[in-house]
Amino acid sequence: MLYVNPLESRIAGAIAPLSADEAKRTQAFEELGHLFLYTLLQEMRESVDVGGRNETSHDEKLYGQMLDDALSGTMVRSGQLPIARQMEAQFRLGETQHRFRGELGGLMGDLTGR
């Protein structure tokens, strides 16, 4: 059973609804987190020798991919691994720094008369 923190769940986001752009951005970061976790699970699966065999059948590979996709999606939606939130926080920090540098550059131009 997955644990969902009620203070950080999607229900808490319903109190202050996101704009369309913010919702799309959040969804994009969730998909990026999903892809990251899927790739991580795939690499972990390839590193394990299953039953002394070096090769797995096509069916086993397909089942493993489907399982990893389902697990990574569940892990992202549960919020227990805040990869999407961390990426979004870094992105927002970068945006803020970029905006601040632009404003500072304009201010410096005004001060120097350029």
pLDDT at 74 exceeding the cut of 60: yes
CA triple 66-70-74, angle to 5 deg: 170
Q: What pLDDT was estimated at residue 67? A: 94
Q: What pLDDT was estimated at residue 37? A: 93
Alpha carbons 12 and 89: distance in angstroms, whole number: 18
Q: What is the pLDDT of residues 75-101, one digit of tens each?
A: 988 888 888 888 888 888 888 888 888
- Label residue 62 by pLDDT band (50, 70, 90): very high
Q: Tell me the residue type at 91.
A: F
CA triple 58-59-61, angle to 5 deg: 65
pLDDT averaged over every residue in the chain: 79
For range 46-64, the mean pLDDT: 80
pLDDT above 70: percentage of residues in the chain? 73
Neighbour-count burial for 10-40, b at 16+ CB within 10 Å, e otherwise: eeeeeeeeeeeeeeeebeebbeebbebbbee
Record the pTM.
0.63
Nearest by Cα to 83 from 28, 43, 22 = 28
* SS3 assignment, position 50: strand
Q: What pLDDT was estimated at residue 35? A: 92
